[in-house]
Structure formats: C-alpha cells, structure tokens
Chains A and B, each alone.
Chain A
Amino acid sequence: MKFWLIRLLSVVVAVFGCIGVQLAANSQSDYIQRLLILAGLYVTLSVSLNLINGITGQFSIGHAAFYQVGAYLAGFLSVHFFHTSNLPPLVWLVVTMLAAAAGAAIAGFVVGLPSLRLRGDYLAIVTLGFGEIIRIQVQNTPALGGSYGLNVEPKVKSIALVWLLAVLCIAICRNLLKTASGLPFLAVREDEVASSAMGVNVTRAKVTAFVLGSAFAGAAGALLASYEGFITPATFGMDVSFIILTMVVLGGTGSITGSIFSAIFLTLLPEYLRSLKSPSGGPLTLTGGTVVGWMVAVIVTVAILRFVYEDGGRPKSKRLVMAVGAIVVGVVVQFVASLAFNKIGALHDKQIVIGQLRMVIFAITLIVLMLLRPQGVFAHHEFSWDWVGRIFGKTKEATA
C-alpha cells in the first residue's frame, strides 16, 4: 500500500514538475524555450544511447538514425493523417510519439538482430553505415520531401512532453539497474563468454537494449519534428550521432547521471559562450595575446594536474592541495603569458570575439576532460542520496 502511494506520488511529482517547467518557461523568450527543448531531447538521446553503449557495452555510433526514423515517421503520419484524425494537436503528438517509438524499435530490431553478433569496432562500422543508409534513403525519397525537407503539421511546442519523455527514459534505465533484470546487460558488457556460461542469452540482451534505446530515440525524433515543424535529412547527420556519443563518454560510460549532466552541459555550453558579454555591453572580445595566454595556461594546468593524478601514491589530501596549486599556477601563467604575448604587436591588435570561438572552446573542453578523467566525469557512479550524504559527511569531518 505504502509502496503504491510513493509510486503514485513520484509519478505525480514528475508530471507536475514537467508541467511546472513549461509554465515557468512560457514567460521566457523563444530562445530559452528552444534551449530547454533541445536539452531535454539530448538528455533522452544520451540516456538511451547509454543503455546501449554504456550499460550493455555495444559500441553503436548510429543513434541519430533512430532519431531520424522517429522524426520522419511522425512527420509522415502528421502530413497524411492529422487532418482526418480530428484529434487535438497535443493528443496527436502523443500518438505520433508512440508510433515513432514503435517504428524506431522495429528498425532497431532489424538492424540489431544480425549486426549484434559483431563486436566492438565491427559493430560500430555497421551502425555508422546504417545511419548513412537511412539519411541517404530519405534524401532520395520524394514522398518524404527528399533533400528539401518535410513540413510537419501540426506544430506543437511542448516542453512538458519533452521533459516527461526524458524523465521516463531515465526512470526506465534506473529501474533496470535497480533490479536483477539489469544484471545480464551489465554482465554482457563485462564478459560475453562468461555470461553465456551463466545462462544469459547474450543476443537477446543486446537486441533488447538496442530496441529499447532506439524506441526512445524515435520518440525524441517525433517531438523534434513537431517542435521544429520542418525536418531535413541534414538535421540527422553523423555529427549528431557523434555529439550523442560524446555526451555518453564524457559523462562516464554506463552512468545515467553522467549522461544527463553532460547532455545538458554540452547543449548549453556553446550557447553560453555565444552569449558572453563584455562589461561595456557588446559581445565579449579579447586581444589575441590574451587568448594565446589562456591557451598556454590551460596546457600548463592540465600538464600539472595529470602529473599530480597519475601517481597514485600520494595521499588524497595532498593531491587536492596540489590540484588547487595547479589551478593557482594556471591563473598566474595566464596573467604573465597574456602580458608577454600582448607585447607582440600583431597579437595585441587582433580582436577576437569569444562567441565565435565557441566550438573551439567546446572541443578544448572535451580534450581537457578526457585527459584528466578518461573514465568520464561520473565514471560508473550514479547519483544517490547516500552519495550526497557521504560528501557532506566528509566535509563535516574536514571542518571539524
């Protein structure tokens, strides 16, 4: 009884939380709303890819293909059947989401069943190939608009639905890991021969993960189609697959928490850099010397940090002090190097708008994070209240 009460309560909290987000966002600009929607979609995409890549250990790099299958299926259905259905747009969106999820799941099954007998890089190549096949096929199908794209009616912007899907995806992955039913997936990631000897049906585990992951990507595609109102094959290129993969790896392969945070972080980072303002009000502009100074400082800091953390022999507290030291050194180096480089006339006169460097900074951030923490920010860890407790417990000890 208590169990069902808590369950009901958590569902209600999730639903009203998402509706709350929507209500709060309604007064914001279109730009903020767009960021919220993209962040939610990327959370769904990265958490669902994490189920395939991280939890089951199958290296798929064609996730955008399933996103595309969902988007086009939903778009096609809307174009042809929305007018005769007499459904309100929001209800219709839910219907197309379900259809898109089913369609992408079938695509996942069809691709997965034969190709999941492959491992590692071979599977990666097959999924990459599948992604391209779908994109090029759509590009050459007049009924789907070809490379001109497809206009999708009705256009619905529902931040609540986007985040509900994300929450549902997170909840399902978390539930899987909380029960014994998730263990066969993890076992397959760790050792296929041993899992098979323990009675785990390896192919079934892989295909199940693939189908589930694809279904969520498909549903996300339906949401994208109805939000944008217009989809083209170019929206689902290889770069989208790689961005999703980057989110999974950066967050820590296998960690749901990591996927969520890095999806939000990587969606917002370029936009944040784009919006940087200088104190006088215009876009933030630095001289060439200062930019070079920052680059030197980052290199120096990363080198010191790597040196500090590579040697596992030092006690934790000492490493922490040294890490703080490395950052202080970095700031000093930045200051000195900027002064020095700005003495060079050409560098001093060159004005650089930081917003234009956003993808460079994005790439550097990835490189730095991978150098310092190759296992991903969260590694295999998940968020839990115990964990929060332990962090606070530790800080209490430290202050006492």
Chain B
Amino acid sequence: MSLLSLEGATIRFGGLVAVNSVSFDLNKGDLFGLIGPNGAGKTTCFNLITGVYKPTSGTILFQGKSIGGTPSNKIAAHGIARTFQNIRLFKALSVLENVVVGGYLRHNTGLFSALAYLPSSINETKRLKAEAMELLRVVNLSHVADVRSADLSYGMQRRLEIARAMATQPELLLLDEPAAGMNPLEKEELLTMVKKIRDDHGMTVLLIEHDMRFVMNLCERIVVLDHGEEIAQGPPSAIRNDPKVIAAYLGEAV
C-alpha cells in the first residue's frame, strides 16, 4: 500500500482550476520531487495535502485513510508535516522553542498540570526540549538554540523550518522550496541533510523545488505540473528528456 496517494485531486477557486485531476503515489521511503513553472499549482497541491484547502473533487489517501478536507492540525497528528515557501517561523520565539512547538503534538500532560507547575509538566517540558535539541543538532543549529528565530540568516531559517516539521515525527515530510535563497554551498549541505533525514529518520520526503540540479540530484521520482495539470511523471533521467517538460519550462519551438 502506498503511503500517500492522490487520485484525481482537484481544486477550483471560482473559475480558476488551480489543481486539475492530479494523481500520484508515494511509497514509504521515497524521495519524491514536485516541479513545474511558477503558478503551476505545486504549493496549492501541498495545501490540499495538509488540509489548508479542501479538494473540490478527488481523493487524497494517507496510509489508506481519506484525509481530504481534514483540519490541518489533525493531519499533522496523522503524520504529515510541512515547511512553507514563504518562511513562517514563530518569529518572537527562540530557535529551540520553535522546535518544541512541533514536538508539543506528542506531549502527555494536561493543561492543569502546566498551570499548577507540577513535576509531570516540568519533566515533560524537559523531555521535549531535549528532543528538540537533538533535532537542532541534525540541522546544525544547536549553537543558536537561544537566539530569536527572526534573527537567523535566511538559510538557517529554512533549516529551522525543517527541524520544526521533523519535531512532529511525521511519516511524510513536505518541503516547499527548501533551497530557495540558499547559496551553492548551503544547497550542497541541504542535499546531504535531506538524504540523511530519509535514511536515518525513515521519513518519506516530498519536495517542491525550482533548482533543477538540486531536484535531479536528490529525487528518485518526479511529478511535473503545469497550469494545474500533471504533464509528466517518472525518474529524473526520463523527466529531463521529456519534450512536454522542456516545452513547459522553455517554451515550444516556433
């Protein structure tokens, strides 16, 4: 059984069909790429999977259960976490606190024990902080754990978003343009990091990216969207030479 499968997922905003009958399957452990020109519907696709939008038609199955239209926070609890194209960190909170929010999904104490400052709540907080610190080590941010997240550099903020998403311990990690705004060296580091996330943490990764070299080097399978429609699907070598993909990116020969 595939981990995530979209079957004819469609969403309309008034007359505009942003995502039109897109179907693909992700298996556990995949490194899957979602590419396409600007406005192709990639982020909308993410928003459908994470419950920001409810699909107009079609089904989205995660581990065999339909999740189309489920509220975002429940989808996070089911095991899908994401990062955002336009970074959405909790700016006033420290780097560590940002990651703890991700881990809070798995906390075991009630509000009352927190309000009364009972040992159970204190220990739980310690545990979540320790776990968050571990994740910060994975993304090389442990040295800035106490810094306000808004004060980080752009590349660091992107890595922090990944750590925060990983803190929910998802089965499936959605990365929306993780390499945007990074320099070549940072991109190289990110590449190894994403591979490590899959190999060491056993998470399946679905990512949107514009940097073709990055996608082709990292992903094992790729789906290409254009104007909300799926135009190609397959391994990088096939996508690279697909005439439809070349046309979508470069325009057709006149």
A-to-B contact residues, CB < 8 Å: 3, 7, 171-172, 175-176, 178-184, 186-187, 189-191, 193-202, 208, 254, 380
Contact = CB atoms under 8 A, between A and B. Distances in A.
A206 to B, nearest CB: 13
A199 B124 contact: no
B19 interface: no
A176 B114 contact: yes
Contacts of A189: 92
Contacts of B114: 175-176, 179-182
Contact of B105 (A171, A176, A178, A199): A199
Contacts of B77: 199
A175 B107 CA distance: 16
Contacts of A195: 73, 90, 101
Contacts of B71: 196
Interface string B134-168: 00000000000000000000000000000011011
A55 to B, nearest CB: 11
Interface stretch (B28-36, B115-123, B221-229): B115-123
SS class of chain B's interface: helix, strand, loop or mixed?
helix
B93 A176 contact: no
The 10 closest A-B pairs by CB, nearest first: A181-B114, A199-B76, A199-B105, A190-B90, A196-B72, A194-B88, A175-B117, A180-B125, A179-B114, A187-B101
Interface of B: 50, 52, 71-73, 76-77, 81-82, 84, 88-93, 97, 100-105, 107, 109, 111, 114-117, 119, 121-122, 124-125, 128-129, 164-165, 167-168
Contacts of A176: 114-115
Contacts of B107: 180-181
A182 B115 CA distance: 9
Contact of B73 (A3, A178, A202): A202
A172 B128 CA distance: 21
Given A175-B116, A180-B128, A194-B84, A200 B92 contact: no
11 contacts: A175-B115, A179-B125, A181-B111, A181-B115, A187-B101, A189-B92, A190-B91, A194-B88, A197-B72, A197-B76, A198-B105
Among A172, A186, A190, A254, chain B packs the most CB atoms within 10 A around the CB of A190
Contacts, number: 112
A179 B91 CA distance: 19
Contact of B76 (A184, A198, A254): A198
Nearest to A178: B117
A187 B92 CA distance: 9
Given A200-B101, A200-B104, 18 more contacts: A7-B117, A171-B117, A172-B115, A175-B117, A176-B114, A179-B121, A180-B129, A181-B109, A181-B125, A186-B90, A186-B93, A186-B97, A187-B90, A187-B101, A191-B90, A194-B84, A196-B72, A197-B76
A171 B167 CA distance: 29
Nearest to A194: B88
A273 B57 CA distance: 68
Nearest to B120: A179
Contacts of A187: 90, 93, 101
Contacts of A254: 92
Nearest to A175: B117
A186 B77 CA distance: 20
Contacts of B168: 198-199
Nearest to A183: B101
Contacts of A199: 73, 76-77, 102, 104-105, 168
B38 to A, nearest CB: 21
A210 B112 CA distance: 15
B83 to A, nearest CB: 9
A157 to B, nearest CB: 29
A3 B93 contact: no
The winner among A3, A171, A179 for most chain B CB atoms within 10 A is A179
Contacts of B116: 175
A181 B127 CA distance: 13
A380 to B, nearest CB: 6
A172 B113 CA distance: 11
B109 A183 contact: no
Scoring A184, A186, A198 by chain B CB atoms within 10 A of each residue's CB, the highest score goes to A198
Contact of A180 (B52, B72, B84, B104): B104
Contacts of B124: 179-180
A190 B73 contact: no
Contacts of A7: 117
A184 B101 contact: yes
Nearest to B88: A194
Contacts of A380: 92
Contact of B164 (A178, A181, A182, A198): A198
Contacts of B82: 197
B50 A197 contact: yes
A295 B125 CA distance: 51
A98 to B, nearest CB: 16
A197 B77 CA distance: 9
A200 B14 CA distance: 30
A3 B118 CA distance: 9
A190 B93 contact: yes
Contacts of B97: 183, 186
Nearest to B126: A180
A18 B163 CA distance: 46
Contacts of A175: 114-117
Given A183-B104, A199-B105, A191 B88 contact: yes
Nearest to A182: B114
A196 B165 CA distance: 12
B244 to A, nearest CB: 32
A300 to B, nearest CB: 34
B119 A3 contact: yes
